[in-house]
Amino acid sequence: MLVATILTLVLVIALTILAFISGDDDLNIIFGVGVVLIVSFGGFGILCLGKWNPTLYSLYCAIAVAVAGILLLIDTKIITGGKSDFDISLDDYVMGALILYADIMRIFLLVLRVVGISFD
């Protein structure tokens, strides 16, 4: 469990730094990458429905961590502000904190599954 915590911490810190140093125009590119990852993630999930395989399950969870990382990056860019139509105002800081908490917990639970710990 310590390994999953450290991996999640490193991923969240790296994505937060990337969100702060990247420009405002990068948000459209990140949205595009997020859509591509989500569509490919769904297609891979449909292919995995046929038979249970622990290796494919771990790979599927690893892809899910990548998708959750993109979603965390998008949400961080929206919360920190910029020139997007989806920016969260200063008055909505509680909602922004809850969004970030949900993203980080999603990443942590998926990393736990990748390292072999499942709560199913």
Range of the domain at 96: 2-115
Asked if 15 and 72 count as a contact pair (C-beta separation under 8 A), the reply is yes
| Within a domain: 62 | yes
| Within a domain: 120 | no
Tally of structural domains, the chain: 1
Q: What is the pLDDT of residues 72-108, one digit of tens each?
A: 988 888 888 766 666 777 778 888 899 999 999 999 9
| Predicted pLDDT at 45 | 77
**Cα separation, 59 vs 93, whole angstroms:** 35
| Within a domain: 29 | yes
| Within a domain: 80 | yes
Higher pLDDT, 103 or 28: 103
Q: What is the pLDDT of the chain when averaged over all its residues?
A: 83
* Closest by CA position to 70, among listed 45, 27, 34: 34
pLDDT confidence band for 22 (50 / 70 / 90): confident
Q: Is pLDDT above 90 for 47?
A: no
